Structure 1
Amino acid sequence: MSENRTNGLRTGARIAGIGAAAAVAIGLFSTGAANADAFVQLPDGTKTGPGVTITRTGEHAVVSPSMADNGLGRVVWVSGNASADVTDTPIGAVGPNNGQNNAAGTNNSSTHGASQINTGYIVGCQIGISDGALTAGLSGGVSLSSANIGGSVSLNIGPGQVKFVQIDSKDITAPGTYSVEYQDTEMQIQGCGGYAQARAYTVVEIIGNNYSKTTLYGQPFSIG
């Protein structure tokens, strides 16, 4: 009986050890999951306006904790394709901007001698990004940052603030189809201690006597 009891204790110890090891492994997996990148698939969209149909396809984002690990930052990589099928525009020539002080407009677009497609993201800290967010940029109270396709942009944004990240633009000098495709463009967000949202936008301006501006918004998504 003594031998059986000893074997039983040893067997129990082995099982307990296996259980403890499994618990540690699960804990490590859980920690990894909590800090893992989050993949966000976003729906396609289309918008028709005067002389143009805007389409966005293949949009997705990958959200990660910031390397700063200070609770105020996060990083998101965005990808997608924005295109404009332009059927009616005057033949244009690229010229100087006509925004404030001859600079690019605060709403991420400006008329400068040619029609234009302009795409990017609206980023907000502790604020919902509504369909009117882009219009709010006309007041000049919204900041503009720029990123090259596949490049990186760093934003410092506080509670209640909204900023635009311009990914890229393309001049439209004649009717036709124009597109801007971007892959893993990085946005580093710092200074936001609460929740943050991002939302794609694409603006097409048509110059001429029948000037128009058509905007296609993407679906808002959380960036932590």
Structure 2
Amino acid sequence: MSVIKKSVVRAASLAAASVAAVGLFSTGAANADTFVPLPGAELNHTLPNGLSITARIANESATINPSLGSTPLHRNTWVSGSAQVEVHGPHKGTKITPGYVVGCQVDISGGAGNGGAGLTQSGENLSGNLSSGANLTLGPGQATSFLLLDIEKPDVYGDEGHTFAVKFTGKDGSVTWTDSTIGLNGCAGYAQARSFVRVETTTEQGISEFRVWGQPFSIG
């Protein structure tokens, strides 16, 4: 189950782009699930108006099954983590948008699905669904990204609308996900994934946005 909570939120972080992807599998263990703890990241970002924001990716991990269906063209990964953001001063609203980049035989160290758990956020009257992840098809040299959140809420005309971020107006906010799925098909070579969190803050001077990146990890 994934839960969005407005507790001590410390936001996403810009992981060091120089971190190399981590190989996970040894000969003879290709069909075993592999649990991979990940270091997360932290970024202290200052907006042009001087407002300071701390963003973190925390408690991040992946559980990897390198070959669903006993073929190297199919992989399945369950990812967990928390995007935490703290705004050190007045703002008119900050949005947290978590997601992942997935690549097949391509370097994603530079930062280049649905159904699942219930979603709640205390104090914001927000409810909806947290996406369980994505089912992707990629060939060699291809990369794509997907967002974890898909929250249904009426638009200004009362029709069904969707938002992919959580917004808070206090000093902190967070999004936590557990066992969201990354399913990958069609990639015959090595594959990697990498978390990111987009942070967008609105102030009297305008809207500012930055991203925090987790460490790339192998998914087989």
TM-score by length of 1: 0.65
Distance apart, 1:131 and its partner CA: 2.6
Question: Is 1:89–1:207's contact at 8 Å kept on the other side of the alignment?
Answer: no
Residue number in structure 2 paired with 1:82: 83
Residue number in structure 1 paired with 2:198: 203
Q: Quick one: structure 1 residues 89 and 132, their matched pair in 2 at CA, closer, same or farther if it must change by over 3 Å?
A: farther
Question: Is 1:156–1:189's contact at 8 Å kept on the other side of the alignment?
Answer: yes
Q: Deviations over 1:16-47 (max 9, x none)?
A: xxxxxxxxxxxxxx85x331111111003111
**Where in structure 2 are there 5+ consecutive unaligned residues?**
1-26, 117-129, 150-163
Distance apart, 1:223 and its partner CA: 0.4
Secondary structure, aligned partner of 1:129? coil
Matches within 5 A, 1:43-82: 43-49=39-45, 50=47, 51-82=52-83
Q: Is 2:181 aligned against 1:186?
A: yes
Residue number in structure 1 paired with 2:144: 163
Give the fraction of aligned pairs with identical amino acids, expressed as a percent.
37
Distance apart, 1:191 and its partner CA: 0.9
Question: Structure 1: which amino acid aligns with 2:71?
Answer: N
Question: Is 1:146–1:166's contact at 8 Å kept on the other side of the alignment?
Answer: no
Q: Quick one: structure 1 residues 147 and 87, their matched pair in 2 at CA, closer, same or farther if it must change by over 3 Å?
A: farther
Question: Is 1:48–1:214's contact at 8 Å kept on the other side of the alignment?
Answer: no
Q: Quick one: structure 1 residues 73 and 174, their matched pair in 2 at CA, closer, same or farther if it must change by over 3 Å?
A: same
Bigger RCO (CA 8 Å, 6+ sep): 2
Distance apart, 1:69 and its partner CA: 2.7
CA distance in 1, matches of 2:189, 2:30: 17
CA distance in 1, matches of 2:148, 2:173: 15
Q: Is 2:97 aligned against 1:118?
A: yes
CA distance in 2, matches of 1:64, 1:161: 21
**Where in structure 1 are there 5+ consecutive unaligned residues?**
1-29, 93-114, 134-144
CA distance in 2, matches of 1:132, 1:200: 9
Indicate the RMSD between aligned Cα atoms, in angstroms: 2.2
CA distance in 1, matches of 2:88, 2:115: 29
Distance apart, 1:200 and its partner CA: 0.8
Question: Is 2:111–2:213's contact at 8 Å kept on the other side of the alignment?
Answer: no
Larger % of helix: which?
Answer: 1
Secondary structure, aligned partner of 1:120? strand
Question: Is 2:92–2:201's contact at 8 Å kept on the other side of the alignment?
Answer: no
Larger radius of gyration: 1
The counterpart of 1:216, out of the listed 201, 212, 219, is 212
Distance apart, 1:150 and its partner CA: 6.7
Q: Deviations over 1:48-93 (max 9, x none)?
A: 122421111110001103333332110000001111112346435x
Q: Quick one: structure 1 residues 171 and 34, their matched pair in 2 at CA, closer, same or farther if it must change by over 3 Å?
A: closer
Residue number in structure 1 paired with 2:161: none
Question: Structure 2: which amino acid aligns with 1:62?
Answer: T
Quick check: 207-216 or 196-205, which moved more?
207-216
Distance apart, 1:212 and its partner CA: 1.6
